[in-house]
Chain A
Amino acid sequence: MEDAPLLSIQQIGKTFSNGTVALRGMTMDIKQGSFVSLLGPSGCGKSTVLKIIAGLGNLTTGRVDWPTSTVDRLGRPDCEISFVFQEPTLMQWATVFENVWLPLRLKGISREDAKERVEEALDMVGLHDFAASYPRELSGGMKMRVSIARALITRPKLLLMDEPFAALDEITRFKLNNDLLDLWEKFNWTVIFVTHSVFESAYLSSRIVVMAARPGRVVEDIDVAAPYPRDDAFRTSTAYNGYCREASSALHSAMDTGDHL
């Protein structure tokens, strides 16, 4: 089972009741420990794929298999999955500590028992001194860090990220990109990262899956062989430019083949 993928998406399709085909016949394996970007124009079903993997939406056709995990009656795997949304999605009324504590709190772990892990998670995203702050007191980048800390606290095996940095300024985004890569290497997560930025996907991922819209489907699967750790020097390297060009042209052809745009 060494090489079995963490999850295997088999011919999944999703059609909404109004007839919109969000996804059609999408098949893909996600290897354990890989960093996969789903890249595509808006409306190509990237976010729908994430929601389906997270068990937040049902399928019209196909199935999602978890070869290395035990699956419950509803088809949910026993491995920890965390989700990071495009917005920080914090509880405004709760402190940073309480926001990060939430996933553990839902499992019945008390504030005292969770304290160490919450502080550890806040340390990892560099927010140790802000445990008592309220979300409104933080900048956009810091809020996103809290959101990431909350995703880390359950020690997830699979991290699903839905355009998490799209709303941030470039400087903050680059910084968070690097921090995310550091954490990913350290904890050996599997990350599925939805983005509409060619550059972000080329910088972060070990694999870029380019999707087309109407119906949502995979049009190109690019292996990004550049070694990790990657740093800002990688952003200006020839190899990086090559991947960007490849992803970009795949994206353009994806947009040309859409039924109507």
Chain B
Amino acid sequence: MAEAAIEEVEIDEVEMRKAQALKREKIGRWLLPLIVIVLTIFAWDRFCVWNEIPHYIIPRPGQVLEALINDRVILIGSLGTTLVITFSALAIAIVGGVGLAVLFAQSKWIEMTFFPYAVVLQVTPIIAIAPLIFIYVDSKFAGLLICAWIVAFFPILSNTTLGLNSADHNLRDMMKLYGASRWQTLRYLRLPAALPYFLGGLKIAGGLSLIGAIVAEFVAGSSGFGSGLAFRILEASYRLKMPRMFAAILLISIAGVLIFMFMSFLSWFFLHKWHESAIKREI
């Protein structure tokens, strides 16, 4: 091996081509979507100009950008409101989801008793429950939080439950043989084993909590607690301020993408040393 390192290393053609293909793929991954978006924006702009579409029906991309800059104070403020709801709901979803999963993992009976209710909560569309919540809950902030939480907690609960139950049975036997307590088994075996599943659930829940927050805002309207992006979209649509509406949608999408990227990073950070999903294949 040492000699090979000093000598001119010969790489066969197939390997060479593979390496080149990999490099092209790396560039393409960024470049291709970029080209598509530039072309789309250009086509959108031309479409508006050539068909003389008024800005209150479809704004030109430049007008959206203008709205983004001119209305930045309102929009950023609303984005902040929406994000506060999103992240608070996500935080409660994590605590509640993991907490319930751990509780379920303690006893099959508890899981059997309560899991169906979690499913019912999940499959009933939030848009149908939200009006009720806002009738019964006085605080609008709390109402928004509950809505976003209902949407976000299920993937965390169901994934973490699956993860806690998928700890290797031989390892569980071993824990028993060495006299591990329930808490030790949870801490040293079941929680680490559940981590990849939890992170998978978190990736879904991050996006869902944003969706939950937006949907709840639509139902709640503007009274009380600050106005989020969904309210800005409604308001802009009433006033036919299409550029602002587009700008608000753009901000929501960007926020969603950033949340997803952050969750993906977290997943990589915790798993890249040991989990199959985060390991690059060498051959």
Contacts and interface: CB of A to CB of B under 8 A. Distances in A.
Interface string A27-56: 000000000000000000000000100111
B274 A56 contact: no
A134 interface: yes
A83 interface: yes
B275 interface: yes
B195 interface: yes
Contact of B177 (A56, A134, A135): A56
Interface in B130-181: 168, 170-171, 173-180
Contacts of A94: 192
A89 B172 CA distance: 10
A130 interface: no
B179 A92 contact: no
B192 A89 contact: no
Contacts of A83: 173-174, 177
Given A87-B170, A136-B274, A55 B177 contact: yes
B188 interface: yes
A232 B179 CA distance: 39
Q: Interface of chain A, helix or strand or loop or mixed? A: loop
A91 B175 contact: no
A152 interface: no
A89 B170 contact: yes
B195 A93 contact: yes
A87 B169 CA distance: 11
Which interface class (under 10, 10 to 19, 20 to 34, 35 or more) fits B? 20 to 34
Given A81-B177, A83-B177, A93-B195, A106 B274 contact: no
B16 interface: no
A117 to B, nearest CB: 15
Contact of B179 (A91, A106, A135): A106
Contact of B171 (A54, A82, A89, A134): A89
A5 interface: no
A115 interface: no
Given A89-B170, A91-B192, A106 B275 contact: no
B189 interface: yes
Nearest to B185: A106
A134 B275 CA distance: 10
Contact of A56 (B176, B180, B275): B176
A102 interface: yes
Given A106-B180, A134-B273, A136-B279, A93 B174 contact: no
B184 interface: yes
Contacts, number: 51
B168 A89 contact: yes
Interface in B172-218: 173-180, 184, 188-189, 192-193, 195
A87 B195 CA distance: 22
A83 B174 CA distance: 7
Given A89-B174, A93-B192, A134 B274 contact: yes
Contacts of A107: 178-179
Interface string B259-278: 00000000000000111100
Contacts of B195: 93
A106 B171 contact: no
A105 interface: yes
Nearest to B279: A136
Contacts of B170: 85, 87, 89
A54 B177 contact: yes
A51 B177 CA distance: 10
Interface in A68-125: 81-83, 85, 87, 89, 91-94, 102-103, 105-107
A89 B175 CA distance: 11
A105 B188 contact: yes
Question: Which of B171, B175, B178, B276 has the most chain A CB within a 10 Å cutoff?
Answer: B178
Chain A CB within 10 A, most for which of B168, B173, B174, B275: B174
B177 A92 contact: no
B275 A93 contact: yes
25 contacts: A51-B173, A55-B177, A56-B173, A56-B176, A82-B177, A83-B173, A83-B174, A83-B177, A85-B170, A85-B174, A89-B171, A91-B171, A91-B188, A91-B189, A91-B192, A92-B275, A93-B274, A93-B275, A102-B188, A105-B188, A106-B178, A134-B274, A136-B274, A136-B276, A154-B178
Given A85-B170, A89-B174, A102-B188, 17 more contacts: A55-B177, A56-B173, A56-B176, A56-B177, A82-B177, A83-B174, A85-B174, A91-B171, A93-B275, A102-B178, A106-B175, A106-B179, A106-B180, A106-B184, A134-B273, A136-B276, A154-B178
Interface of B: 168, 170-171, 173-180, 184, 188-189, 192-193, 195, 273-276, 279
| Ranked 4 nearest A-B pairs via Cβ | A89-B170, A93-B192, A85-B170, A134-B274
Interface of A: 51, 54-56, 81-83, 85, 87, 89, 91-94, 102-103, 105-107, 134-136, 154
